[in-house]
A and B are shown apart, each in its own frame.
Chain A
Amino acid sequence: MLRGKTALVTGASRGIGRAIALRLAENGAGVAVVYAGNEAAARETCEKARGYGVKAQAFRCDVSDFIQTKALVKDVIEAFGGLDILINNAGIVRDGLVLSMKEEDFDRVIGTNLKGAFNMIKHTYQHFMRQRGGRIINISSVAGIAGNAGQANYASAKAGVIGLTKTVARELASRGVTCNAIAPGFIETDMTSKLPGNVKEAALHAIPMKRMGAPEDVAKLAVFLSGEGAAYITGEVIRVDGGLSM
């Protein structure tokens, strides 16, 4: 379904990003596995992806760094001979009530989660524009739709990602490039495993489906949005949250 396509996935060493990279690989796309620090995990993602018979290569990059992302995009396009799908998934958390949230905690989360997506889109923009085609998928969060106590930085960044998504969708629509956002709820990853037990329990109680989602649940949607079936969908925000934020 995606044979011959190349996908770049940020934050692909673990969690949702890894699941997306592997699903894309399973569907035939070559994958550039972008990671911030965990090289061993990124390599493992690549090895698993190659198991599907596609090209996979790991690239280290701090997506909050404008210069690094520019070099990254150039390197990936050179290594793969093109780029068709961009998945902005890299994200960090620095939780705390606004009262105790340090300025640096706010800046860091905005830097990676929001500016990181901007940086990647900025540097792939001309490529997609000239190609007259491409898929951009930004991973937002239900926290960006509904807010979440203790996550002023994260929710702000994820809400910003939705505004970014809709703007890019409008700018590039006439060039055949779509841009959509996925808003996951509670998904079982390293990020949510660090949540205190009582927070997790309260979250489960609030989810109509009464269970956390799996990275796979998000990955399947990302594959759909990357494929032909989603050609006429742009500027959309799709929740994958078991009904949490409806």
Chain B
Amino acid sequence: MTTFDKVVKILVDYNDCDASEITMGTKFADLGLDSLDTVELVMNFEEEFGITIEMNEGLQTVGDVVKLIDSTQG
């Protein structure tokens, strides 16, 4: 399972959205997620990947998160 697949799975679990519609370019806002949702998702990502993510306004798309996770695990 790639990082992208795992992130998508967490998103689908969280928001009950359609996995097939999520791409690297999908914005959290497009999925109807507000800033608090993003904070909560980031906490879920941290648990899943066993990393610490510094919250910042730059985290807007699925791709942003995937790249960040890959960079901390590389």
Tell me the A residues contacting B by CB distance below 8 Å. Answer: 126, 129-130, 171-172, 174-175
Is the Cβ of A130 less than 8 Å from the Cβ of B40?
A: yes
Closest 7 CB pairs of A and B: A129-B40, A126-B43, A129-B36, A175-B36, A174-B36, A130-B40, A171-B36
The answer for the CA separation of A171 and B36 in the assembled complex, in Å, is 8
Let me know if A130 and B34 touch, CB within 8 A. Answer: no
Q: Is the interface of B mostly helix, strand, loop or mixed?
A: helix
Determine which of B34, B39, B43 lies in contact with A174 in the assembled complex, contact meaning CB atoms within 8 Å. Answer: B34
Could you tell me if B39 and A129 are in contact, using CB atoms closer than 8 angstroms?
yes
**A130 and B36 form a contact (CB under 8 A):** no
CB neighbours of A126 from chain B (8 A):
39, 43
Smallest beta-carbon distance B8→chain A, Å: 21
Given A171-B36, A174-B34; 10 other pairs, CB 8 A cutoff: A126-B39, A126-B43, A129-B36, A129-B39, A129-B40, A130-B40, A130-B43, A172-B36, A174-B36, A175-B36
What range describes how many residues of B lie at the interface?
Answer: under 10
**12 examples of A-B residue contacts, CB within 8 angstroms:** A126-B39, A126-B43, A129-B36, A129-B39, A129-B40, A130-B40, A130-B43, A171-B36, A172-B36, A174-B34, A174-B36, A175-B36
- Residues of chain B within 8 A (CB-CB) of A171 are 36
A171 to B39, CA, bound (A): 12
**What's the minimum C-beta distance from A168 to chain B, rounded to whole angstroms?**
12
A-side contacts of B36, CB under 8 Å: 129, 171-172, 174-175
CA distance A126 to B39 in the complex (A): 9
**Measured between C-beta atoms, what is the minimum distance from A230 to chain B in Å?**
22
Please, how many angstroms separate the alpha-carbon atoms of A232 and B39 in the complex? 24
Interface residues of B in 34-51 (CB under 8 A from A): 34, 36, 39-40, 43
Q: Considering the chains assembled together, what is the distance between the CA atoms of A174 and B35 in angstroms?
A: 11
> What is the bound-complex CA distance between A72 and B36, given in angstroms?
24
> Which single residue of chain A is at the shortest CB-CB distance from B37?
A174
Residues of B12-57 contacting chain A, CB below 8 A: 34, 36, 39-40, 43
Distance, CA A174 to CA B34, complexed state (A): 10
CA of A126 to CA of B40 in the docked complex: distance in angstroms? 8
Task: Tell me, rounded to whole Å, the shortest Cβ–Cβ distance linking A61 to chain B.
Answer: 24
How far is the CB of A189 from the nearest CB of chain B, in Å?
Answer: 37
A128 to B43, CA, bound (A): 13
**Chain B nearest CB, measured from A224 CB (Å):** 27
Question: In the assembly, what is the distance between CA of A174 and CA of B39, in Å?
Answer: 14
Residue numbers in A under 8 Å from B40 (CB-CB): 129-130
Nearest chain B residue, comparing its CB with the CB of A172: B36
